[in-house]
Every structure is written in structure tokens, then in C-alpha cells.
Structure 1
Amino acid sequence: MKRLALIFCLCATPLFAQDGGAGARAAADALDAASIGLDQAESARDRVKALTETVRAYEDGLAAMREGLRAAAIRETELSLKLESQEAEIQQLLGVLTAMGGEAEPKTLLHPQGPLGMARSGMLVASVTPGLAQQASELRADLEEVSALRELQQNAAQTLEKGLGGVQDARTALSKAIADRTDLPRRFTEDPIKTAILISATETLQGFASGLTQISEDDAPITTTRIDDRMGLLQLPVRGVILRQAGESDAAGVTRPGIVVATQPQALVTTPVAATIRYNGPLLDYGLVTILEPQADLLLVLAGLDAVYGEIGQVLPEGSPVGTMGGTMQMNNSSPSSEGGGAERSETLYIEVREGDAPVDPLLWFATDKG
């Protein structure tokens, strides 16, 4: 895991001219910093934090690289179509340039109408030659750019493969570090029998959330500070884009009070604020669910995960991993038809915020400029 930033230095290098270049370089810097933090980690908590930052840096770098490659593919398509539409004009231009030769000058051209005709033709050629040279220069630049873009895309597969291998290794190490972590404080110890009874007795998320407060009445006092002053400022727990707002109907016409965030496959999900794990596991038709309690009477529900981390009752520091999304990461998805990366975000995370017994719009708590 040491010196992991070298991989993303490779990722960033061919993208300096692309919009994704700055993002890839920023991810490389973050990966380098995380690698140093990992080398210096003395406790299990420090190691989990450093590995979390490592995985996030890989995710950002891969996303930036794909965006740069997508821009390259779009540009190549534009240039190819342009050159194809100008094929007849280009052939004519090449014919004229070939006939003139590389050293053609007006004074060497003879004209059947004598010196006056030769002078007039010389003036005409003199005025046309710079334009032809300019056209030839532009054509040469376009052809060179197409060649460079094609080479970039051909070399991308190997670079992406290295990046995907790196992020998988980092995720594996993170899972092990979480399993080995024993220094987290506990607010309460789960009663699995009470939890199982609650699950079997409830038919809605609201009923389950309400029941959580009843099965752990002997909780220790919450040690986390209140977060009311952070309303509207919390980061989304996963990298992604909001696919559906609270109260919007899905394809089946079902409405829910939470938001749906589209994410990349296997994206890491973290707690946006220090919180107690009130529940994690399968629940109703929501798939794997993690329910976090940052403060009394406030619950964050994260549903649709593929794997969950931590144990019920643990108090997690802000930014701690709570799970990962499902799906399979594709080695390359940078075609122009990818619609700016939307095709990569094949997984969805459902986020619900509950204050007391009532749901509220999650965007009252989360910042909306996170993408």
C-alpha cells in the first residue's frame, strides 16, 4: 500500500490538457497524503481513517480520469466528423500543394500572355499561397490531435486497470482494518432478540425507527455534540448525484420522504458526522440498511448498501466508513455516449432523515452542491 500515489501520477499525466486533469492531479495529491498517513498510523482508528482517505482518493482519481478520457473521445469524434466532411476540399488542397511543390515562387511561373499575364498570375498566387499554407497547417494540427487522442485512449485501459486494482486492494485493507478495530466507544450493547422481534413486528421504516428508541432505553448518554448549527452543510455520505428528490415518484409511482443518490459501483459510504450505529443489516424491502444517530431524536437512514461496517451501539467518528455500494466497476466507460458519466452511476443509495418520529427533507441537512 506504500507510495500508492505513483499510480495516479500516471493517471494524471496524459490528462493535463483535459478538464479531468486538475481533478486527477488533486486526487494524486490526496492519495499521496493518505499514503503518508497510512505509514504513520499507530492505532487501528488512524489506519481506518488513512485507508478511508485512500479509497476516496482512488474513487476521485478514477472518476477524473474517466471524465478526461470521455472528453478526449468526444473531441476525437468531432475532429473525425469535421475531416470527413472536408474530404473533397482536403483532396483539392493536397492536389494544389503537390502541383506547386515546396519551393514554388511567383517568379518561376510562365504565362502564355507574356510578362503582364505572368505578373498578374504571380500576384494571384502570392495572395493565395499564405491561405493554402494556413489551411495545410490547420489540417496538420487536426490530424496530429486525432492521432494523439487515439493513442491516449488506447493506453487508457492499462492505466485504468492499475487504478482499479489499487482501489480494490485499498478496500480489502480497509475491511480488514475495520474488523480489527477495537478502540471505538460503545453507547450500548445490542440485544439481538429484541432487534429480531422489532423487525418481524414492523412493516414500515417509520415503525422500525420508532421502535429503536424503545429497545435501548438503558443507553449511555450520547457523547456527541449537537449538530443543529450544521444544517445544510453536511456532505453527502457518498460520492454521487441526486437522482430523485424527497417526495418524487419513482418509475413504479412510489413516493418516499428521502432522496435517492446515484453512485458508482462499489462506492464507499461514510458517516457525514459523528454518530452512533443504531442498526445495520437487512430491513424490509430496503436491502442492507445502516441507521445512524448523530444526536437525540435525529436519525440518518442509509439504505441500499451491498456491505455494512461496524457494530450496533458503536460511536463512529465523522467520516468513518459505514458500508459500500454494490455493482461491478467497469475497466473503461469513456465513450461519448456516456452522458458525462451518468452511465457509470448504476447504483442508488436511499437517504432518509428523521427528526423525532417524522421524516424531513434530507436536503435541509445536506449541502446540494456535492456531485
Structure 2
Amino acid sequence: MMTRRAIAAALIGLCGLAGPAAAQAPGEAARAAAEAIAAAQARLEAAEGARDRVAALTATVRAFEAGLAGIRDGLRAASLREAELSARLDARETEVAQLLGVLQSLGASEAPQRLLHPDGPLGAARSGMLVASVTPALAQRAQVLRRDLEDVATIRALQQEAEATLREGLAGVQAARADLSRAIADRTDLPRRFTEDPVKTALLIAASETLDSFAAGLSEIPAGPEGRSTGDIGDRKGALPLPVSGTVLRGAGEADAAGVARPGIVVATQPQALVTVPVPATLRYRGPLLDYGLVSILEPQPDLLFVFAGLGTVFGEIGQVLPAGAPVGLMSGRPPSPSGDGALSPASETLYIEVREGAGPVDPLTWFATDKG
């Protein structure tokens, strides 16, 4: 049996461990993302009768991607929170056992023992004051434990609901991407600045050993009498949206794992993510190029080229003038299955973005804005 001194020490130690109330359980972001998925599904159905199906489907794919990103973020946050709470509860097993020992000791004491104290009435009074002072703290501690247990249960329910929404969203975005590809193939309403000369393009590719030489040769191919762009976009410098949803993984001039440094930036993104035109631009080239994979090169204004490399699918016809927000391709990679396989995997594809002004490259972040400013 524990002595009264041991009981007092245990109670004081247990009460001293009482912490602040548990943080608000994560879930708001996941709920908002679920609403975005539902809205995207409705938009996909409405796109069937849209006057401009390409624009409607592009917006639909973007909405799905935003919703899926929110669901993924919410699930990761929920998993981290659950792990944190579980670890905290596991660590409290000793505290709970200690508390039970205290209560058992108090409960096993006979009535005369509880009324008497070796130090007489004064010691008994002090013991009573000690118990009275620690009881509210014990109740508060129990409340914190109960709240943590409730948080774990809430988070697990949220995860199940979010995973079901994630599966629906993955199926929806795949359907929207397929519809978008068909709508682009059927599109005939875009203006053209020039008609591609396949022979000149093939000769230029064969003669080019670097992106520099290809871009220089491309600028020498005339774009037709109507000009090469839709106007000056200098006033939007530094404020253009990235062409794909993702995170800048490597800045201009930073070396990769192989020690190769390039003047463009690398954006990490999800498989099959949609890549769009940030501003109206003429499509100067699309297709394979050197070791860059599939490439789209856009010309928003004279002496300015945007190079997007590493695509899995490219859209559009060379010479077309694409409106802002128009799709130019999809990233490569295998999309997660609607069953949820790989749905929470980190961004695994990378888009290389290079901006060329005049005769050479510039840091793309002088033109594009990111969420980090």
C-alpha cells in the first residue's frame, strides 16, 4: 500500500502535468475541399452544353485539382494530428496507472484511518486541504484526456469521409481530362498567326544542340504578316500565375542532383496536372526537344519566349494564338487510381520553366508570382 507521502507526491506530480486544451481538430480545409470537389462535379456536367467547352472543361479540371489538393492537405494534417494525439495518450499510460494506484489506495483505506493523521488534527487538516486543492486539477486533467480521445475519434471519422470524397474526385478529374482532350482535338475556332513549316522545324531541331540555339533559330522563323503576339505584357511582369499548380522545387541557376544548373525553375506537381497559358500567346513550338522531353514554347510578345518542358501530353497547333488560361498540355506520370492507391503521394512530376528575353534567359520568377511571393 502507498504511504500518504507517496500518495501526496503522486497527486502533485499528476496535477503538475496538466496542459492546455487540445488544439482545434483539423478538418475545415478538408471540408472546404470536399465542397470544391462537389462544385467541380456539377461544373463537369454543365460543361456538356457549354458554348466554349474547352474553357469550361479547363476550369473544371482546375477546380478538381484544387479540391484534390485540399483533400490531400487535410488528410495529411489529420494523420499528423492523430499521430500526435496517439503518442500523447500513449505517454500518459504511466500517469493513468499512477492515478489508479492513488484512487485504489484511497479507496482501500478504512474510515478510521482516513480520519486520523500521525501529526494529529493539524496534519489531518493539511491533508484535507491538499486533497481539496488537487481535486479540481485532477478533473481538469481528466477533461483534457477525454477531449483528446474525442479528437482522435473525430479525426478518424473525418479521414474516412475525406477518403471517400478523394476517390470521387479522382474519378471526376480523370473524366474531365479525357473530355478536355477530346474538346481540344475538335476545336477549330482559334486564330492563327502563321502555319507551321514542318521542314524548317525539322531542320532546326536537327541543327540545334542546345535550347539556346533552338530558341535563337525559332525566333528567326517568320511568324507571318499579322505579327507574332497580341500585345505588350510588360505591366504584368512579376504577377503572372504559374502555368501549373505546384511548388517551386529549384530556382534559376540551382544545380540538380547530377550537378547540372539550368537558367529556369523547376516546379513539383502532381501526375497528369493541367498546364495552361498564363497570358495570351502564340504557340511557336510543341513536341519533343533534345533531352527536355515534350516541350511547349509560347511567345506572348516579340522577343519573349516561355518554355515549358517535361510535359506528358501537349495540346494546340503551332501558329495558334492561345487565350489566357488555355490548356497547353498535361504532366506525365500515372494518376492515382480512384480506389485511392497513391492518392496521398507527394508531387512526383516536375515542370521545367524557362523564360527568354531577347537573346538569353532570365530568371522566370521575374515574370511569375508564387504563393511565397
Q: State the TM-score, normalized to the length of structure 1.
A: 0.82
Q: Summarize the Cα distance change of 1:317–1:109 in structure 2 as closer, same or farther, 3 Å threshold.
A: farther
Contact 1:66 1:332 in 2 (8 A): no
2:92 is aligned with 1:83: no
Aligned to 1:363: 365
Measured after TM superposition, the shift of residue 156 of structure 1 is 3.6
1:27 match: 36
What amino acid is the match of 1:111?
A: L
Cα drift, residue 158 of structure 1: 2.5
Contact 1:282 1:288 in 2 (8 A): yes
Give the corresponding residue for 2:47. 38
* SS of equivalent to 2:115: coil
CA-CA distance at 1:41 after TM superposition: 1.8
Alignment-derived partner of residue 263 in structure 1? 269
Instruction: Quote the offset at 1:219 in angstroms.
Output: 4.6
| 3-state SS of 1:306 partner | strand
* Offset, 1:181: 0.8
Deviation per CA, 1:137-190, whole angstroms, max 9, x where unpaired? 111111111122223334443221111001101111111111111100111111
Q: Summarize deviations over 1:30-54 as a string: whole Å, max 9, x none.
A: 6378458636622xxx211111111
Q: Which has the larger radius of gyration?
A: 2
Aligned pairs (5 A) from 1:1-371? 17-18=26-27, 20-21=29-30, 24=33, 27-28=36-37, 31=40, 34-35=43-44, 38=47, 41-42=50-51, 46-94=52-100, 96=102, 111-112=115-116, 122-216=128-222, 218-222=224-228, 224-330=230-336, 331=340, 344-369=346-371
Aligned CA distance change for structure 1 residues 67 and 184 (closer, same or farther; 3 Å): same
Query: Does the 8 Å contact 1:35/1:54 carry over to 2?
Result: yes
Displacement after TM superposition at 1:94 (Å): 4.1
Q: Distance in 1 between matches of 2:42 and 2:229?
A: 30
Distance 1:328 1:256, change over 3 A: same
* Aligned CA distance change for structure 1 residues 110 and 334 (closer, same or farther; 3 Å): farther
For 1:369 and 1:156, locate their aligned partners in 2 and report how far apart those are by CA, in whole Å.
25
Structure 2 counterpart of 1:24, one-letter code = A
Q: Distance in 1 between matches of 2:38 and 2:198?
A: 44
C-alpha displacement at 1:27, in angstroms? 3.4
Summarize the Cα distance change of 1:368–1:157 in structure 2 as closer, same or farther, 3 Å threshold: closer
Which SS does the other structure have where 1:273 is aligned?
coil
CA RMSD of aligned residues (A): 3.0
Q: Deviation of residue 278 (structure 1)?
A: 0.5
**Number of residue pairs aligned between Structure 1 and Structure 2:** 342
User: In structure 2, the residue corresponding to 1:153 is in which secondary structure?
Assistant: helix
How far the C-alpha of 1:64 sits from its partner, in A, is 0.9
* CA deviation string 1:64-93 (max 9, x = no partner): 111111111111111111111111111233
Q: State the alpha-carbon separation in 2 of the partners of residues 316 and 128 from structure 1.
A: 72
Distance 2:319 2:159 in 1: 48
Distance 1:360 1:228, change over 3 A: same
SS at match of 2:220: coil
The 1:302–1:85 alpha-carbon spacing in structure 2 relative to 1, beyond 3 Å, is same
Letter in 2 for 1:352: E
- Residue 6 of structure 1: aligned partner: none
Give the Cα–Cα distance (whole angstroms) in 2 for the partners of residues 328 and 172 of structure 1: 14
Describe the shift of the 1:67–1:217 C-alpha distance in structure 2 as closer, same or farther (beyond 3 A): closer
Match of 1:104 in 2: none
Change in Cα spacing, 1:109 to 1:192, as seen in structure 2 (3 Å) is farther
Deviations 1:118-153 (A, max 9, x none): 766554443333222222211111111112222333
| Cα distance in 2 for residues equivalent to 1:169 and 1:95 | 60
